[in-house]
Amino acid sequence: MVCLGNICRSPLAHGVMEKLILENNLDWTVDSCGTNGYHDGESPDPRAIRVASNQGVDISHQISRRVTIDDFIQYDIILIMDQMNYATLTKMAPPYQKEKIQFLTEFAFPGKNLPVPDPYYDNKFEEAFDLIEKSCLAFVQKFGK
Ligand code: 4NP
């Protein structure tokens, strides 16, 4: 799960997917990171921690980190939140790894390239959580056993 700062959207997506993996006994690994590294080593935004906690998702232990080239090798799919994340990652992707990059919302809203709007400035964390949850559920319905 990748966003810009790895303190709002991708930690929520990481936490929601982690919970779905546990609930569905899936043999998957999920992690999250950001493209800009400005918040390296920090916990998620307190507003993200709160909105997740209200829905039974604990993201308080997560630590922000920047995406690495190794992530493209290590993971089968890289789910991004918006067009800017897409542009950054497609530029840094090693050969033959670009196809791994998909919008998180692709599986709930196919073909729309629908962004998860950044709640960092406008405070719309509940809206972000709902869209992220819907998207993760659709992903698990498609690829989970
Ligand atoms: P995120 O939100 O990409 O969903 O983690 C942001 C958090 C911080 C900043 C930008 C976006 N920032 O520039 O500090």
The tens digit of pLDDT for each residue in 43-99 reads 999 999 999 999 999 999 999 999 999 999 999 999 999 999 999 999 999 999 999
Q: How far is CA 23 from the centre of its chain?
A: 18
Q: Which residues are CB-contacts of 106 (< 8 A; sequence separation ≥ 6)? A: 112, 113, 135
Nearest atom in ligand 1 to the alpha carbon of residue 64 is: 5
Alpha-carbon distance 10 to 7, whole Å? 7
Strands 2-3 and 101-103: unpaired
Percent of the chain predicted with pLDDT > 70: 100
The domains located in the chain, with CATH, are 2-143 (3.40.50.2300)
Average pLDDT of the residues of the chain: 98
Cβ neighbourhood burial of 12 (10 Å; 0-12, 13-18, 19+)? buried
Which residue has its alpha carbon closest to ligand 1 atom 3?
A: 4
pLDDT at 135 over 90: yes
* pTM of model > 0.85: yes
13 ligand 1 Cβ < 6 A: no
Pocket test for ligand 1, best of 1, 38, 43, 118 (most atoms within 8 A of CB): 118
Query: pLDDT-derived band of residue 145, with 50, 70 and 90 as boundaries?
Result: confident
Amino acid type, 42: E
pLDDT band at 123 (very low <50, low <70, confident <90, very high): very high
Write the residue with the smallest CA distance to atom 13 of ligand 1: 5
- What pLDDT score was predicted for residue 138? 98
Residue nearest to ligand 1 atom 11, measured at CA: 5
Distance 142 CA to ligand 1 centre (A): 29
pLDDT at position 143 over 90: yes
Query: Which pLDDT does position 119 carry in this prediction?
Result: 98
Residue 38: CB within 6 Å of ligand 1?
A: yes
pLDDT number for residue 53: 98
Q: Does residue 42 have its Cβ closer than 6 Å to ligand 1?
A: no
Q: What is the pLDDT of residue 27?
A: 97
Q: Active-site residue 66, yes or no? A: no
Partners of 102 in beta bridges: 79
| 32, two tokens | 């999250």
